[in-house]
Amino acid sequence: MEVVVESFQSHKVVKKLAKMTSSNFILDCDEAVLKLPKELGEGEIRAVHFNDGLKLLTFDCTLYEVMTIQYENSKCVPLRFIYCSMGELTHSMGEEDVQYQLNTYMGAIACTKCSTIEKFRYPSNIPLMITIIQIDREKYIKKIECNLPDFPKPIAAIFEDVKAENSFLHQSNYSYAISECLDAMNNAKHTGIVRRIFLESKSLEILSYQINQFDDDMNFEGKRVLLKKYDVDKIVKARNILVEDIQNPPKIIELARLAGINQQKLKQGFKLVFDTTINRYLRDYRMNKAKMLILEGSMNIGEISQLVGYANASHFSKYFKKKYGVLPKQYTKKVMTEIAD
């Protein structure tokens, strides 16, 4: 199936698909939802419009035939932040004949020149979870103009290119922080204005993480590990092994062996996927576990310290205070005070 649209409005994609398949779609204020008809596939496609030229388009579905969405650009094109949480997609970027593919755990920052033809190809018979954040730069630039000096220079340049005079493409495996935001968006149960605010806030959070990650990518150019899907799977496996026994977690060299990945690639890849180091991730996980145990109130601080892997209670208290601002024995009182306020 080929869908040709003349507008970059996300709602227009949903409306065009509904018209082509003689299907109904739901329009709830700024969110349009198409539940795929049985002959086309399973799942749904959603489009949400926010303020200042920010838009969201999501595919949570399995298609029964290949779908190509072609944008015939009569107006200047948006800047896109594209994330593939499941499946794959192919993006052809107009007259320069640039084409790239995103697989699971991969993302891209992409924009083409004005008045070019773009194509997005979505494959058939595999589950898809695709999130596309679109930005109308001519509108959005007014919101961020004073902050542009703080952006990485290449990112600032593409935001300033409101007339789409240049194309741009950056691909990478996205971080765990972005992954958590995407999961939260895809699983959101909110309705009405609360849903709209929630989705917009998560979209902005993703943009902040992506801009920060781009800066890191550039800083470590030449040393950065380019991860394949199977590498990311092994890194996620390593993370799961790490937290299975937080009292006696394996050393990094043993963790790499158990996960089946090179030690150096594990350390560098873990930072890319989870946006933190292995040791810091473990410490934060222990602190979060300890926090929950303290709030439950069924164990004393010494017992909790031992349970989360600290034989030395003073070391535990030191790290806990560093993370939460108070000693463990003071934490419950702090929470109750905040609730009362």
| Per-10-residue mean pLDDT, the chain, length 341 | 81 84 84 91 94 93 94 79 95 80 92 87 96 94 90 93 91 83 90 90 93 74 56 89 94 95 90 88 93 89 93 91 90 75 58
pLDDT at 229: 63
pLDDT at 176: 74
pLDDT at 180: 84
Q: How far apart are CA 296 and CA 51, in angstroms?
A: 41
pLDDT at 72: 80
In contact, 307 and 293? CB cutoff 8 Å: yes
Tell whether the torsion through CA atoms of 219, 221, 222 and 225 is positive or negative. positive
User: DSSP assignment of 122-191, as one string?
Assistant: E-SSSEEEEEEEEE-HHHHHHHHGGGGGGS-HHHHHHHH-TT--S-EEEEEEPPHHHHHHHHHHHT----
- 96 by DSSP, 3-state: which? helix
pLDDT at 221: 47
What counts of helices (H) and strands (E) characterise the chain?
12, 13
Phi then psi dihedrals of residue 140, to 5 deg: -75, -25
Quick one: the chain helix, strand, coil %, rounded to 5? 50, 25, 30
In contact, 236 and 173? CB cutoff 8 Å: no
Question: Which distant-in-sequence residues (6+ apart) come within 8 Å of 292 by Cβ?
Answer: none
pLDDT at 193: 87
Tell whether the torsion through CA atoms of 72, 78, 84 and 85 is positive or negative. negative
pLDDT at 14: 87
Domains of the chain from N-terminus onward: 2-219 (2.60.120.10), 229-340 (1.10.10.60)
Secondary structure element (H or E) that encloses residue 307, with its range? helix 301-307
Size of the chain in residues:
341
Side chain identity, residue 118: E
Q: How far apart are CA 238 and CA 64, in angstroms?
A: 35
Extended strands (E) in the chain? 2-5, 26-28, 31-35, 41-49, 54-63, 67-72, 79-86, 88-93, 99-103, 106-111, 117-122, 127-135, 168-173
- 248 by DSSP, 3-state: which? coil
Strands 168-173 and 106-111: antiparallel
pTM for this model (two decimals): 0.70
pLDDT at 17: 84
Task: Count how many Cα atoms sit within 13 Å of the Cα of residue 309 in the half-sphere of its side chain.
Answer: 20
Looking at the DSSP bridge assignments, the partners of residue 62 are 42, 127
